[in-house]
Each structure stands twice: as C-alpha cells, then as structure tokens.
Amino acid sequence: MEIVRAHSMGFCFGVRDAIEIVRELGESGTPVFTLGAIVHNPQIAEQLEKVHVHVVEGLDDVPPGSLVAITAHGAPPDLEGRALARGLKVIDTTCPLVTRIQKTAADLVAQRYSVLVYGDPEHKEVQGIVAWSGGKAKVISSMGDLENWEPTRRVALISQSTSNIEKFVSLARDLVAAMVTRGVEVRVINTICKPTKERQRAVRELAREVDVVVAVGGRASANTRKLVQAAQEEGVPAYQVERLGDLQASWFAGAGRVGITAGASTPDSVIGQVEERIRSFEVGQPVMA
C-alpha cells in the first residue's frame, strides 16, 4: 500500500502565528485564557494547557486581571472593550485574513448593501463576521435560505474563509442570476482564504490519484470537513480523523494508494502518527487507541 501526501496541507500562517503567540506567553510564565480553542485541534489544546494556556467559554470564566486571547477565528467588535471594562488584558490573535473579511462586511453595510455570508451560522468566525456587520448580514448555505427574503437595491455575497470553493462559486452564479432578473445590483467577493483554496485544490488532485483519502484534523475544524467533502466530490471514499483511534483498518481494504491531507490547524507530528498507523494496518500490527 502506497501512501501519498497532498502537496499542500496542514498548518497555515494564521494558525501557526496564533499558536506561537499564546505559547510564548504561556512558557514565559504568563497564564493566557483563550475564548474557545485557539484553533480547532484537540492535540494543540492539550499541549498549550501544559504551558498555562487555558480554554474558557467566556469572559466570566477569566480571573480578574488576567490576559485573555481572542482566537484565530476572530470575535465581535465589542469584545475587546467588554474585556477591558472588566479589568482584563487582551491579546488579539485573529487571523489577518479573517480580519479582512470582518472589515469587508462592515464596509459593505456602510455602503448600504444587503450582505449575505456563505458559511456555517454556528461557527465562531461567521458569528464574528455578522457582528462586524452590526448584525445586519444574513448567513446562508443555499439559495433556499433566501425564500421570502427581500433584498435592497444592492446585494453583496461574501464567504467564511474556509468554505468549499466549488459550492461558493455555484451559489454565486445562482444568486447573480436571481438578482439580475429583479434589477438588483450584485457584488460577489471571494473571501475564501488562499490557504483554504490551495488545500482544497490539492486534495482534489490527490483524490484523482488514490483509492481512499484520510483528512487529519479536529472534529470542530471546518476547513478539515471541507477537505473531506472536496475529496468525496471527486468520487473517492474520504474520512476525517481527529485521533489515531478513529482509524479503521476496513477503510483501506484493497486500497493500493492512500492519500493523506490535513486541516490548517493540524501539526506535522499528528500527520506523521496517522501515516504510521495506516502503514501498521498493512503489516498487521495491533491497533491501539
């Protein structure tokens, strides 16, 4: 069984920088409290906990006078002010590409566009983008979400940074067709980040050359889920793996070539462990969780 890695996968610069910022602070002796996981990877969260970087759900969980970190996914524009008002110190590790989307949403609203955001309404990044629009942006996943929706004379479509590029393009085409027939001005801004585009393109190329694809990343990782989706759209079985125990030998039965990709918050060490475990299935070694 041959194992082939996607030519683009794993850590992106936004994730790497966010992790290093809080890691350096924690290792220097400054406890850091992150509002949710700094990135969506459980192994990273466990490593950071050992150097005094703690995950909390909200500002109420942060001890007075402590340092609180806004995660790479971003936050509403009023969060820093609320934290400072509580006597907390703040460090912002929002990915610069997410910051750009937040500002784009705010600018579009200021220009009197009805703003649509293609993405997951439960994701922190999307919730932050909507907040930056003053709560005026509407989150959609398909044209069906626009039933009974009345746009203004100007409509703009943007996207969560980790969305499926193919689905975004398809939605944009349908939206333009629907709005133009109504005499509505439409603006489409592709805010899917470059690392996401590169990784999705790479996994599609990989999927065409292998019998099965494994995407390594946390279950809460939106970009990892999109890698699985992209591979499946190419017609091959694809599975998401958060931990070694998720791997099943039956996935690889009869497979001559196995492809591996990884989400933007997956460290190289975890990718290597998954590859080693897959190889162990071939030689019949026991599987340990």
- Structure token digits, residue 108: 């579009």
How many other CB atoms are found less than 10 A from the CB of residue 165? 17
Q: Which of 20, 27, 122, 125 is catalytic?
A: 125
User: Which tokens hold the place of 179?
Assistant: 């709005």
Q: In this structure, how many other beta carbons lie within 10 angstroms of the beta carbon of residue 49? A: 12
Phi/psi class of residue 8: alpha, beta or left (left: φ > 0; alpha: ψ in -120 to 50)?
A: beta
Alpha helices in the chain (DSSP H): 13-27, 42-49, 79-85, 96-110, 124-132, 165-180, 194-207, 222-233, 268-282
Could you confirm whether 198 is annotated as catalytic?
no
What is the rounded distance in angstroms from the CA atom of residue 163 to the CA atom of residue 205? 18
| Interatomic CA distance for residues 65 and 83, integer angstroms | 10
- Which amino acids are annotated catalytic? 125
